[in-house]
Structure 1
């Protein structure tokens, strides 16, 4: 089964995977109209902890709202930082709960798949049961690096921070795992396309 990867980097590891249709900045994920399940990586800086210091484009926050709608319509998984405000704004389910689309939330650490930092991450999954999720690896102990700024920290006693490009890159092993997860997802059984758009309008924050 083909999987569409939305909002990928131009140098994304996803482009090396078979049967994966990658939408980077040149292809524009806003044009995606199905029918395949998706792995969505919408921009997070407008929703993240340091959003007050970010300078997102005027329409950038809406890309995450679009990603929620596409995951609900075609099935698949949306990835965002653990401390994102997208979940509250879009009324996405807490861990252990399900929403009207059958969607559920998982929390993972990206160092399980080889990232140098822990990089705790939320996943919103629609179209499969939790028991169908591919088993994630489990890595014990601290990651070698951190995600963060040096401000206010003693460099001599702290783990180093990852490089700037590592903030956005998905480790190859995690990319393959997310694609396999999306392949196990079928079109969300609840609601028509029109109902999905109506629901998104109701859930949009202001």
Structure 2
């Protein structure tokens, strides 16, 4: 079954997968009108923990709302960072709950799928029951990198290189890329959708 990947990077790992139609900035996910299930990666900077520092385009937050509506209409999965305010804005269910669309939330770490940082992530899934989701890999141990240096010490100073607990940051591109194993897993979830 074909799967549509929405809001992907132009150099997305999804473009290497079979039977995947990728909607990047040139193809424009706003034009998608079915019929395939979707994997949606709408921009998160307007919804994340650091949203007050983000330079968000006027229409950008609506892309996430569109992603939610497309997942509800065609089935599939939407990915956003843990702590995203999209969950409250769109009344998405907390983990362990199911909404009126049959959608549910699953929390993962992208580190389990090969990301060098932990990158805690929420998935909103519609059209697949939790027992039908492909097995989730578990990678024990800490990640070698972080998304951003945000740790502060008791005295209010920041953790710097050379101090215990410091880890290097991943690049901007690495923050935005979906690891190949996670991309394949999300596509497999979408392929199992019954809408």
Give the match for residue 168 of structure 1. Answer: 176
Whole-Å separation in 2 of the counterparts to 1:14 and 1:164: 18
Structure 2 residue 81 is matched with structure 1 residue 92: no
Whole-Å separation in 1 of the counterparts to 2:8 and 2:104: 23
TM-score, with structure 2 as normaliser: 0.94
Whole-Å separation in 2 of the counterparts to 1:156 and 1:181: 41
Whole-Å separation in 2 of the counterparts to 1:33 and 1:153: 47
Give the match for residue 71 of structure 1. Answer: 71
Whole-Å separation in 2 of the counterparts to 1:74 and 1:180: 15
Whole-Å separation in 1 of the counterparts to 2:27 and 2:89: 27
Aligned partner (choices 151, 155, 163) of residue 161 of structure 2? 155
- Secondary structure, counterpart of 1:15 in structure 2: helix
Give the match for residue 123 of structure 2. Answer: 123
- Secondary structure, counterpart of 1:71 in structure 2: helix
What displacement does 1:150 show? 6.4
Aligned partner (choices 154, 169, 192) of residue 184 of structure 1? 192
Give the match for residue 48 of structure 1. Answer: 48
Whole-Å separation in 2 of the counterparts to 1:150 and 1:143: 15
TM-score, with structure 1 as normaliser: 0.89
Give the match for residue 3 of structure 1. Answer: 3
Structure 1 consecutive aligned stretches of length 4 or more whose deviation exceeds 4 Å: none
Gaps of 5+ in 1: 188-206
What displacement does 1:149 show? 3.2
Whole-Å separation in 2 of the counterparts to 1:166 and 1:49: 18
Whole-Å separation in 2 of the counterparts to 1:113 and 1:161: 18
RMSD: 1.0
1:109-157 Cα shifts (integer Å, max 9, x gaps): 0011110000000000000111000001000010111111368222112
- Secondary structure, counterpart of 1:52 in structure 2: helix
- Secondary structure, counterpart of 2:35 in structure 1: coil
Whole-Å separation in 2 of the counterparts to 1:174 and 1:44: 18
Give the match for residue 29 of structure 2. Answer: 29
Give the match for residue 191 of structure 1. Answer: none
Gaps of 5+ in 2: 152-157
